[in-house]
Amino acid sequence: MSKEKQSGKEKQDISRRQFLSYSIMGVGGFMAAATVMPMLRMAIDPVLKAEASGDFIATNVKVDEITTEPQRVDFNFEQKDGWYESTVTQTAWVYKDENGEIVALSPICKHLGCTVSWNSSDNYPDKFYCPCHKGVYDKDGTNVPGTPPRGPLDRYQYQINDGVLYLSRRASEVGGE
Ligand code: FES
């Protein structure tokens, strides 16, 4: 074999070797990324969630239309849980108190989690009533003593933007027994 042919073959070998090592590095890098990224995401996710929890969701209610009579308000938002995306529907009972302040109560009973509704029992007019175990709450969400619930209904935070009511994604506790 001539010297020129030999050096051509060496060049070919080197480029094959380089190709192989680049391929291995590429596959290895991809596998490392596939392993590390989910772990990284899980580590960062609580931070992202904390930021998202400050979000307020637009309802279809104009603030001018809110009266002193509690009205049921449903609102939706998209939620990402890891890789899983879903639409969450929340419900609030919304009204204005005697000072004109907006009150937005969760309908989740503080006894065992059934759904309360306003003025739905003839025995308890102008109260929130839970049919599961006859739980009763006053209009401001305070649990009526002697009925099963041990704390007041949770409250949503609210904002007003362009005359529209926005509610927090989750209601939060206002205290209890
Ligand atoms: S779940 Fe509401 S009273 Fe029991």
Same domain, 37 and 102: no
Distance 98 CA to ligand 1 centre (A): 28
Distance 22 CA to ligand 1 centre (A): 64
Residue 92's beta-bridge partner residues?
Answer: 73
pLDDT digits (tens, 9 = 90+) for 81-114: 899 999 999 999 999 999 999 999 999 999 999 9
- Residue 21 tokens read as 């090592």
| Distance between CA atoms of residues 76 and 86, nearest Å | 10
User: Among 51-60, 112-121, 138-147, 164-173, whose mean pLDDT is lowest?
Assistant: 51-60
Mutate to test the pocket of ligand 1, among 110, 114, 143 (most ligand atoms within 8 A of CB): 114
Q: What's the one-letter identity of residue 105?
A: L
Same domain, 15 and 33: yes
- Is 72 buried (19+), middle (13-18) or exposed (0-12) by CB count in 10 A? exposed
Ligand 1, residue 149: give the atom nearest the CA.
3
Is pLDDT at 121 greater than 50 in this prediction?
yes
Describe the strand order of the beta sheet including 102-105 as a list of residue ranges.
Answer: 71-81, 84-96, 102-105
pLDDT digits (tens, 9 = 90+) for 47-62: 444 333 458 999 999 9
Same domain, 138 and 152: yes
Q: How confident is the model at residue 29 (pLDDT cuts 50, 70, 90)?
A: low
Q: What is the pTM of this model?
A: 0.69
Distance 140 CA to ligand 1 centre (A): 17
- Give the total residue count for the chain: 177
Distance 174 CA to ligand 1 centre (A): 18
Q: Is 34 left (phi over 0), alpha (psi -120 to 50) or beta?
A: alpha
Ligand 1 lining (C-beta closer than 6 Å): 109, 111-114, 130, 132-133, 135, 148-149
Higher pLDDT, 138 or 80: 138
Same domain, 93 and 161: yes
Q: The domain that contains 111 carries what CATH number?
A: 2.102.10.10
Ligand 1, residue 134: give the atom nearest the CA.
3
Residue burial 23-53, b: 16+ Cβ < 10 Å; e: rest: eeeeeeeeeeeeeeeeeeeeeeeeeeeeeee
Same domain, 32 and 77: no
Distance 79 CA to ligand 1 centre (A): 28
Residue 29 sits in which domain range?
1-52
- Domain for residue 173, yes or no? no
User: Among 1-10, 32-41, 45-54, 93-102, whose mean pLDDT is lowest?
Assistant: 45-54
- Domain for residue 148, yes or no? yes
Ligand 1, residue 130: give the atom nearest the CA.
2
Ligand 1, residue 113: give the atom nearest the CA.
1
| Distance between CA atoms of residues 143 and 136, nearest Å | 6
| Residue partners of 45: CB distance under 8 A and separation at least 6 | 82
Same domain, 14 and 33: yes
Distance 116 CA to ligand 1 centre (A): 8
Same domain, 44 and 71: no
Domain count, the chain: 2
- Domain for residue 175, yes or no? no
